[in-house]
Amino acid sequence: MKTVTDRFLSYAKIDTQSDESSQSCPSSEKQWDLARKLVEELQEIGLQEITIDDHAYIMATLPSNIEKKVPVIGFISHMDTSPDMSGKNVKPQIIKNYNGEDIELNKELNMVLSPKDFPELLFYKGQDIITADGTTLLGADDKAGIAEIMTAMDYLIKNPEIKHGKIRVGFTVDEEIGRGADKFDVKKFGADVAYTLDGGQIGELEYENFNAALATVKIQGRNVHPGTAKNQMINAILLGIEFNAMLPVDQRPEYTKDYEGFFHLIDYNGQVEHTTFRYIIRDHDLEKFNDKKKLIKDCAEFMNLKYGSGRVTIDLVDQYFNMREKVEPVKYIVDIAEEAMYAVGVKPIKKPIRGGTDGSKLSYMGLPCPNIFAGGHNFHGKYEFVPIQSMEKSVEVIVKIAELFALSDL
Q: Torsions phi, psi of 395, nearest 5?
A: -60, -45
Among 256, 289, 320, give the residue marking a domain's end: 320
SS3 396: helix
Instruction: For residue 297, give the CATH number of its domain.
Output: 3.30.70.360
Q: Which of 15, 19, 41, 80 is catalytic?
A: 80
Whether 138 and 282 share a structural domain: no
Whether 313 and 356 share a structural domain: no
Nearest-angstrom CA–CA distance, 57 and 327: 24
Beta partners for residue 276, in sequence order: 218, 269
Whether 183 and 110 share a structural domain: yes
Give which of 351, 353, 354 is closest to 254, Cα–Cα: 354
Identity of residue 17? Q
Whether 176 and 57 share a structural domain: yes
pTM above 0.75, yes or no: yes
Q: Which of 41, 148, 175, 283 is catalytic?
A: 175
Give pLDDT, residue 355.
Answer: 81
Instruction: For residue 335, give the CATH number of its domain.
Output: 3.40.630.10
Whether 307 and 346 share a structural domain: no
Whether 377 and 255 share a structural domain: no
Give pLDDT, residue 299.
Answer: 97
Give pLDDT, residue 160.
Answer: 97
- Helix, strand and coil content of the chain, in percent to the nearest 5, comes to 35, 25, 40
Expressed in angstroms, the distance from the first to the final Cα of the chain is 32
Among 320, 341, 363, give the residue marking a domain's end: 320
Whether 242 and 169 share a structural domain: no
Active site residue 318: no
The count of structural domains within the chain is: 2
Active site residue 6: no
For the chain (410 residues), the mean pLDDT of every run of 10, in chain order, is 96 96 96 98 98 98 96 97 95 97 95 96 98 97 98 98 98 93 96 96 96 96 95 95 97 95 95 96 97 98 96 95 95 97 97 86 96 96 97 98 94
C-alpha pair distances (Å), 226 with each of 181, 221, 241, 268: 50, 14, 19, 23
Whether 161 and 70 share a structural domain: yes
Whether 386 and 247 share a structural domain: no
Residue-number span of the structural domain to which 128 is assigned:
4-208+322-407
Whether 255 and 269 share a structural domain: yes
Whether 316 and 333 share a structural domain: no
Residue 312: left if φ>0, alpha if ψ -120 to 50, beta else—which one? beta
Among 267, 296, 320, give the residue marking a domain's end: 320
Contact 320, 213 (CB under 8 A): no
- Tell me whether strands 371-373 and 193-199 are parallel, antiparallel or unpaired: parallel
Residue 257: left if φ>0, alpha if ψ -120 to 50, beta else—which one? beta
Give pLDDT, residue 410.
Answer: 83
